[in-house]
Amino acid sequence: RAKEMGGNCFSFYSQEMNERFENLLKMETALRRAVANEEFFLQYQPRICAHTQQIIGIEALLRWNHPEGEMVLPSCFIPQLEESGLIVQVGTWVIREACRQNKLWQDMGFEPLCVSVNLSSRQFRSESLVNTVSSALADSGLEPRYLELELTESLLVDNTEHAISLMHALKELGIALSIDDFGTGYSSLSYLKRFPIDCLKIDRSFITDIASNAKDAAIVEAISTLAHNLGIGLVAEGVENINQAKLLKGFGCTEMQGYFYSKPIDANHLASILNQLGSSTLSTKVAKLMH
Ligand code: C2E
Ligand code: MG
Ligand code: MG
Ligand code: MG
């Protein structure tokens, strides 16, 4: 657009926009440095079976160890990674690191867990995704069934035919696919019939007020029935208290994730929890220990 206008595009910007642009550039420079200096790391949030209370999986969540301060959460930098295209490189690292770490836990003798990795739309659109995933599996030695990719609804609507064939190619590798933040995007139910999906993750926004809001409760119950009848898994995201957990269990929700069970934690913290748990059963006592 700047080229079309000719000359110095900055003269078309207000002071405020100029500053925003400069901040964005600074951010991008910092993120490029972060990639080069390997300042990213992963935390893991347990996913719990509603019936046995066992940890059955973990979600890998990206964090930025900023040199000048504290741990930075993804909402502060994922959009910029997306915009700059750096997300493909970082996302590849996330997939590889999650596979490596998960295989390491298995080699340490823990019960095998499935690790979930979030995908951005840019990654989903990149030519190399299937190769990236298959080489991450091959290089780590992780069995494909212990990797799940989380897609969002918005990522699937652009080019549906392409999305479906890509998803089938990913499924052929033997990994699992889930829909993240389910219910917040464009949820055409007919797509659920065509997408090779293993699991729905109900967005936290439906869970928060589930005890007081009859509409949220009705939506969650309906999604639960839908998942059951489709023969796919269901995870409730953002479960923060026992009340929500009980209601969700009553609605037939089979898996839970949220602060009530555990916040996202560092890899070594998770290992020590798995160690204490032995059979990885989460008793209420230990759930408290994890906060
Ligand atoms: P998400 O995939 O829906 O992940 C769940 C988010 O909810 C995480 O935030 C998690 O810390 C938070 N959460 C979990 N349980 C609770 C709870 O009980 N209460 C509350 N209030 N929050 C809870 P986080 O780690 O800040 O990540 C935010 C989003 O950033 C993720 O949402 C995901 O979409 C994205 N993200 C994280 N890691 C990656 C990544 O490696 N690649 C891509 N493309 N996106 C990522
Ligand atoms: Mg997720
Ligand atoms: Mg996500
Ligand atoms: Mg989510």
- Could you tell me the pTM of the whole model? 0.90
Of the candidates 145, 134, 201, which has an alpha carbon nearest to the alpha carbon of residue 169? 134
Q: What is the pLDDT of residue 13?
A: 53
Q: Residue type for 138, please? A: A
In angstroms, what is the span from residue 134 Cα to ligand 3's centroid? 21
Q: Is 180 in the pocket of ligand 1 (CB under 6 A)?
A: yes
Residue closest via CA to ligand 1's atom 27 equals 74
Task: For ligand 1, pick from 78, 86, 153 the residue to mutate: most ligand atoms within 8 Å of CB.
Answer: 78
Q: Is 46 in the pocket of ligand 1 (CB under 6 A)?
A: no
Distance CA 184, CA 204 (A): 10
Ligand nearest to the CA of 74: 1
Q: What is the pLDDT of residue 119?
A: 97
In angstroms, what is the span from residue 180 Cα to ligand 4's centroid? 5
Distance CA 171, CA 197 (A): 9
In angstroms, what is the span from residue 182 Cα to ligand 3's centroid? 10
Q: What is the pLDDT of residue 69?
A: 80
Q: What is the pLDDT of residue 66?
A: 87
Q: Is 118 in the pocket of ligand 1 (CB under 6 A)?
A: yes
Q: What is the pLDDT of residue 2?
A: 39
**What DSSP line would sit under 114-128, residue for residue?**
EEEEE--HHHHHSTT
Q: What is the pLDDT of residue 214?
A: 97
Q: What is the pLDDT of residue 187?
A: 65
Question: In angstroms, what CA-CA distances link 181 with 60, 125, 206, 226, 288?
Answer: 15, 19, 10, 16, 26
- Written as tens digits, the pLDDT of the chain (291 aa) is 333 333 443 445 567 766 777 777 788 888 888 888 889 999 999 999 999 999 999 999 999 998 888 899 999 999 999 988 999 999 999 999 999 999 999 999 999 999 999 999 999 999 999 999 999 999 999 999 999 999 998 888 878 889 999 999 999 999 999 999 999 987 677 788 889 999 999 999 999 999 999 999 999 999 999 999 999 999 999 999 999 999 999 999 999 999 999 999 999 999 999 998 875 455 444 454 444
In angstroms, what is the span from residue 111 Cα to ligand 2's centroid? 22
Binning the chain into helix, strand and coil, the percentages to the nearest 5 are: 55, 20, 30
Ligand nearest to the CA of 152: 3
